Chains A and B, each alone.
Chain A
C-alpha cells in the first residue's frame, strides 16, 4: 500500500477488505459443506444395508448375505492389542524425553527430531517394516499380533508427541512444589505432573488409536487381506478389520458390494465420531484443569 496524503483512495481498501472477508468466509463454509456432503452421501448410500444380519453375518460371495461380524471383532481385538503395546511405550518414551533426559544434550535433540520425522513417514513403509520384521523376521505369520505390533509402531510417534506436548504444558511451579516438600523425581511425576497432564495424554492416545482404527495400507502389506469368515479367537489367528473389508468390497466390480462398503464406512465413521467427541471433551477438561 502506498502512502496517500489526501486519503483519496481509503474507501477502496475497505472494499478490498470486505471482498477478502467474503472470500475467506465462503471458503470456510465450502470446507464445512464438503464434510457434510461426504457424510450425507455415505449415509444415503450406506443406510439401506444396515440391518441386524449385516452386523452378525460373515462376508460372503453373495452381497445379500454378507456382513461385517469378523471385521468388527477383528477391529476390536486389534485395537485392544495395539493399545496394550503402544500406550505404555509411547507414554514412557515421552516421560523420559520430557522429565528425565538432559535438555542440553545434542543426542536427545536428535532423538526428538527423529520422533517428529517418524510421525511423517508414510504408513505403507510401516507395513513393509511389519512384513519383514514380524511376519517373516520373527515368523508370527499373518496373525493378529503381527498386525497389532505393526500398528503400535505406526502410532507410537503420535502418542509420544501428544504426551510430550501435554507434559510441556505443565508449568514448572507444579514440579518445584513437589521437590519443595521432598518428593523424589518419580513421585513428582506420578503425583504432581501426571494427574494434571492426564486429559492431554488421553487426548493423544485417542487420536493415535483413532488413526489406527482407520489405517488400511500397513495391514494390507502384512497380508490381512485374505478371505476371513470367522472372528479371531487367539492372537495367532488371521484376521480382518473394517477398513480392509471396505477396501475389499470397493475393489469388486458389482455395485451391490459398493453399497455394503458404504454401510461399513458408516459403522467406521460412527466409531470415529464417538472417539473424536471424547477427545474433544477431554481437551476441554485439560484446558480447564490447567487454568485453575
Chain B
C-alpha cells in the first residue's frame, strides 16, 4: 500500500515526464464536441424539457374535459350554486358545498399546524442543543413521512372515539377529527420551512440586538421572527395548499355529505374526497357525472397553483434580501 503522498508524488513525476493522455487516460482523449458528448447533452436536454411537457399535459387534459363539462353545465350554476347533488334527481352542480368543506379542513388544520410548527422551529433553531436537534429533527421528519391513509385510519379509529367523549353528539364521520389529523400531518412542513427561513436571518442582526442589551426573548420575538416573517408566511401558505389537496385522510374521516355548514361536528365532503368518490363508484364513462372530476380537478389545480406560486414568490423575496 502506498500512502497518499507517495501516490501524489508518483502521479506528479509522471505528469512531468510523460504526456497528459498517459497520466489522465480516462479523461484526456474525448473532446467536448465528440459524438458521445453531444448525444449525452441532447438526452439530458430532452429530460429537462420533459417536466414542461408534463405540466402542459396536466393542463391540457383538465381543460379539454373541463370544457366538455362546462358545455353542459353553465359555469354560473357551477360556481354559485349552493347545492351539490350530481347523483340526485334533478342533478345539481353547485360547487360551493365542496369548496366550503375544503376550506373548513384547510383553515382548521392551519390553525393547528401554524403555531405548533412555528414554535417547534423556534425551539429547534434557537434553544435546543445540538444533540437534542439531531434526535428531534429526524423524529419530526418521520411524522411528516407517514402516509395520509394512515392519518385517515388514525382519525377514524382513535381521534373520533376520543372526541365522542367530549362531544357526545358528534357524527361518526366529522370534519373535526379530519382537521386535527391533517393539522398534525402539516406540522413538519411548517416546522422545517420556518426553520430554514429563521436560519437565513444573519447572525450580525441578532448580535446587534444583544449589543443593545436585549434579552434572548426579545431577540427571538422582536428581531428573528420579524426578519424571517416572509419565509414563515410562505411556509404557512404552502401548508395551506397541501391541506387543500389532501385526500386520503379527509376521504376516510370527513365523510361524503356535501353541506354548506360551519359546524365541525357534522359530516362534510371536500373536493378531493368527491373526486375519489366518483372513481370508486360505477359512474359510466362519458356521462356528465363522470366529467365532474375534470371540472373539480381543474378548479383544485388552479387553487393550489395560485397558493404555491404565491409562496414561491415570498420565498424568493426573503432569499434575495439577506444574501
Known: A100-B41, A122-B300, A247-B248. A31 touches B153 (CB 8 A): no
Q: Nearest Cβ in chain A — how far from B8, in angstroms?
A: 14
Q: Which stretch (B32-40, B93-101, B257-265) binds chain A?
A: B32-40
Task: Determine if B248 and A93 form an interchain contact, defined as CB atoms under 8 angstroms apart.
Answer: no
Interface size on B, residues (CB 8 A): 97
Task: Determine if B61 and A216 form an interchain contact, defined as CB atoms under 8 angstroms apart.
Answer: no
Q: 9 new A-B pairs (CB below 8 Å) besides A28-B136, A93-B44, A120-B307?
A: A17-B215, A31-B120, A31-B140, A42-B154, A92-B43, A124-B297, A128-B61, A181-B27, A220-B280
Task: Determine if B275 and A128 form an interchain contact, defined as CB atoms under 8 angstroms apart.
Answer: yes
A79-133 interface (Cβ within 8 A of B): 88-89, 92-93, 95-97, 100-101, 111, 113-118, 120-129, 131-133
Q: Which residues of B contact A (CB under 8 A)?
A: 20, 24, 26-28, 30-32, 34, 36-37, 40-41, 43-45, 47-52, 54-55, 57-58, 61-62, 65, 115-116, 119-120, 122-124, 126-128, 136, 138-143, 145-150, 152-154, 156-158, 184, 187, 191, 214-218, 220-222, 238, 241-242, 244-248, 251-252, 272, 275-276, 279-280, 285, 293-294, 297, 300-301, 304-305, 307-309, 311-312
| Distance of A20 Cα from B308 Cα, bound (Å) | 32
Task: Determine if A30 and B116 form an interchain contact, defined as CB atoms under 8 angstroms apart.
Answer: yes
Q: Counting CB contacts under 8 A, is A236 at the interface?
A: no
Note all chain A residues with C-beta closer than 8 A to B52: 111, 114
Q: Counting CB contacts under 8 A, is A268 at the interface?
A: yes
Note all chain A residues with C-beta closer than 8 A to B154: 38, 41-42
Task: Determine if B65 and A185 form an interchain contact, defined as CB atoms under 8 angstroms apart.
Answer: no
Task: Determine if B61 and A243 form an interchain contact, defined as CB atoms under 8 angstroms apart.
Answer: no
Task: Determine if A220 and B48 form an interchain contact, defined as CB atoms under 8 angstroms apart.
Answer: no
Residue among A95, A121, A247, A250 making CB contact with B44, cutoff 8 Å:
A95
Q: Nearest Cβ in chain B — how far from A58, in angstroms?
A: 20
Q: Which stretch (A49-57, A65-73, A153-161, A168-176) binds chain B?
A: A153-161
- Could you list some 8 contacts between A and B, CB below 8 A? A34-B184, A92-B47, A111-B51, A122-B244, A124-B247, A182-B24, A214-B145, A220-B276
Q: Counting CB contacts under 8 A, is A35 at the interface?
A: yes
Which residue of chain B has the shortest Cβ distance to A261 in the bound complex?
A: B153
Q: Which residues of A contact B (CB under 8 A)?
A: 1, 10, 13-14, 16-17, 20-21, 23-25, 27-28, 30-32, 34-35, 38, 41-42, 45, 88-89, 92-93, 95-97, 100-101, 111, 113-118, 120-129, 131-133, 136, 153, 156-157, 160, 178, 181-187, 191, 207, 210-211, 213-217, 220-221, 223, 225, 243, 246-247, 250-251, 258, 261-262, 265, 268-269, 272-273, 276, 280
Known: A21-B127, A217-B276, A247-B248. A1 touches B50 (CB 8 A): no
Q: Nearest Cβ in chain A — how far from B131, in angstroms?
A: 14
Note all chain A residues with C-beta closer than 8 A to B47: 88-89, 92-93, 96
| Distance of A128 Cα from B215 Cα, bound (Å) | 54
| Distance of A225 Cα from B143 Cα, bound (Å) | 26
Task: Determine if B119 and A24 form an interchain contact, defined as CB atoms under 8 angstroms apart.
Answer: yes
Task: Determine if B48 and A111 form an interchain contact, defined as CB atoms under 8 angstroms apart.
Answer: yes
Max chain A CB contacts within 10 Å: which of B37, B152, B215? B215
Task: Determine if B305 and A121 form an interchain contact, defined as CB atoms under 8 angstroms apart.
Answer: yes
Which residue of chain A has the shortest Cβ distance to B220 in the bound complex?
A: A20
Note all chain A residues with C-beta closer than 8 A to B61: 128-129, 132-133
Which residue of chain A has the shortest Cβ distance to B275 in the bound complex?
A: A124
Which residue of chain A has the shortest Cβ distance to B150 in the bound complex?
A: A265
Note all chain B residues with C-beta closer than 8 A to A211: 145
Note all chain B residues with C-beta closer than 8 A to A269: 146, 150
Note all chain A residues with C-beta closer than 8 A to B31: 184
Q: Nearest Cβ in chain B — how far from A250, in angstroms?
A: 5
Which residue of chain B has the shortest Cβ distance to A283 in the bound complex?
A: B138
Note all chain A residues with C-beta closer than 8 A to B115: 27
Residue among A126, A136, A216, A265 making CB contact with B248, cutoff 8 Å:
A216
Task: Determine if A247 and B124 form an interchain contact, defined as CB atoms under 8 angstroms apart.
Answer: no
Which residue of chain B has the shortest Cβ distance to A255 in the bound complex?
A: B157
Q: Nearest Cβ in chain B — how far from A41, in angstroms?
A: 5
Note all chain B residues with C-beta closer than 8 A to A13: 215, 217-218
Task: Determine if B222 and A1 form an interchain contact, defined as CB atoms under 8 angstroms apart.
Answer: yes
